[in-house]
Amino acid sequence: MKYIIKDNQAGLVLKNGIFQKMVTAGTYHFSKMAGYTVAVQEMLGEMDYLEVPYQVLSRDPAFREATVHMEIPDGSVGFLYMNGKLTSFAGRKEYVFWNVFDKYEMKVISMEETVMGEEITKQMLTLVPKHLYVEVSVGEGETGLVYYDNVLQEPLSRGIYRFWNYGHTVSFCVIDRKQKELDIVGQEILTRDKIGIRMNVACMYKVQDAVEFASRISDLKGQLYPAVQLAIREIVGNYKLDEILEAKERISREIYEALQEREEMFCVHFLTAGIKDIILPGEIREIMNSVLVAEKAAQANVIARREEVASTRSLLNTAKLMDENQTLYRLKELEYLEKICQKVGEISVSGSAGIVEQLGKMMGTKQPQ
């Protein structure tokens, strides 16, 4: 039988199913009667002829020269390069490529070292299946905790870290150590004089020890909230309503000091704490408003009386000066006459007396001799 092998092809010659040799471009005649068959292969990419194992095919020097055989050991991964360019991730343990027109290479990376090395570039990382590694991203103000088989490793600072999930089962958590605000809104409290009030309290805190926190605290906000509530009740409940309203700042400091005593329990550091609002019951608020109105009215009355006394004292001082000084008296009289004249539309003068004299008689004042 006649076989024509093209320039980009190779022929695998078998006799009775047993590999004999590989032939390249040319025309060949093999007798089927003698048991010969020829498997024609394109010499491009991965070789897909699987009827004969590679170990058998590789006995032929021509086949070995035209192909490249790649194996990936256990605990390693491979990255396939064609003509010097990264093309794919090697997901199998063994590959055979035609190495005639394109040159194939395999870069093998061991996963025995759990921490992924810098030889893994970003381009290579996009090809690695997600189940083979764990990525930990630690931001500013955070601490990363990584566990190998549930055993804590060295804490991680800011950065991006990757771990092979091969030799160990890798797990992680990222602890946020930035300051946070905790608001206690509408906390109901019974004062010492048995008046029910509501109070809004705000505090700022941050995680102090990330390792201790991870080992002891499961739900920080869920545990911290009732602890702050209890501290508020213990302190505010010892005061009467009037004392609470008058000593708001001092009570805020006491709340802050009480929370500082609980820092070690929750592995946090309290930065601030204080009362934001005090909400009174409706009837108490009306009473307080009435008291405030009465106090302000009394203050206004005192100020008005004080101004009246000052005005009277000023008038008395002016009268004394006028009694002692006739010229001053006359000037004051003329001043008032001027004010009267400003409000009069027309003035009629009769008789021989002067205008000032007649106006003086109208005012009932005595003219100087």
Stretch 30-58: mean pLDDT, rounded? 87
CA torsion 331→333→339→343, rounded to 10°?
-150
Phi/psi at 24 (nearest 5 deg)? -110, -160
Stretch 61-77: mean pLDDT, rounded? 92
- β-sheet bridge partners, residue 80: 88, 106
Report which of 171, 169, 168, 167 is spatially closest to residue 135, judged by C-alpha positions. Answer: 171
What per-residue confidence (pLDDT) applies to 84?
92
Residue 255 has pLDDT above 80, yes or no: yes
Q: Are 53 and 91 in contact (CB under 8 A)?
A: no
Q: Are 63 and 57 in contact (CB under 8 A)?
A: yes
Q: Which residues lie below 8 Å from residue 360, measured CB to CB, with a gap of 6+?
A: 333, 337, 366, 367
Are 56 and 98 contained in the same domain?
Answer: yes
Stretch 273-296: mean pLDDT, rounded? 74
> pLDDT grade, residue 136 (50/70/90)?
very high
Q: What is the DSSP string of 283-335?
A: HHHHHHHHHHHHHHHHHHHHHHHHHHHHHHHHHHHHHHHHHH-HHHHHHHHHH
Q: Which of 92-101, 151-160, 298-307, 343-352 has the lowest mean pLDDT?
A: 343-352
Are 274 and 185 contained in the same domain?
Answer: yes
Question: CA 334, CA 340: separation in Å to the nearest integer?
Answer: 10
Question: Does residue 287 lie in a domain region?
Answer: no
Stretch 296-312: mean pLDDT, rounded? 78
Are 97 and 71 contained in the same domain?
Answer: yes
Residue after which a domain boundary falls, among 77, 107, 137: 107
User: 105-123 burial, b if ≥16 CB within 10 A, otherwise e?
Assistant: ebeebebeebebeeebeee
> pLDDT grade, residue 241 (50/70/90)?
confident
Residue 23 has pLDDT above 90, yes or no: yes
Are 172 and 184 contained in the same domain?
Answer: no
Are 193 and 266 contained in the same domain?
Answer: yes
Mean residue pLDDT of the chain comes to 85
What per-residue confidence (pLDDT) applies to 369?
47
Are 129 and 160 contained in the same domain?
Answer: yes
By three-state DSSP, how is residue 128 classified? coil
Pick the residue with more confidence: 340 or 104?
104
Are 39 and 77 contained in the same domain?
Answer: yes
pTM score: 0.66
Q: Which amino acid is at 203?
A: C
DSSP, res 7:
T
Q: State what percent of residues in the chain have pLDDT above 90.
A: 49
Phi/psi at 73 (nearest 5 deg)? -65, 165
Question: Does residue 120 lie in a domain region?
Answer: no
Q: State what percent of residues in the chain have pLDDT above 70.
A: 86
Residue 330 has pLDDT above 50, yes or no: yes
Quickly count: other Cβ atoms within 10 Å of residue 349's Cβ: 11
> pLDDT grade, residue 73 (50/70/90)?
very high
What's the structural domain count of the chain?
4
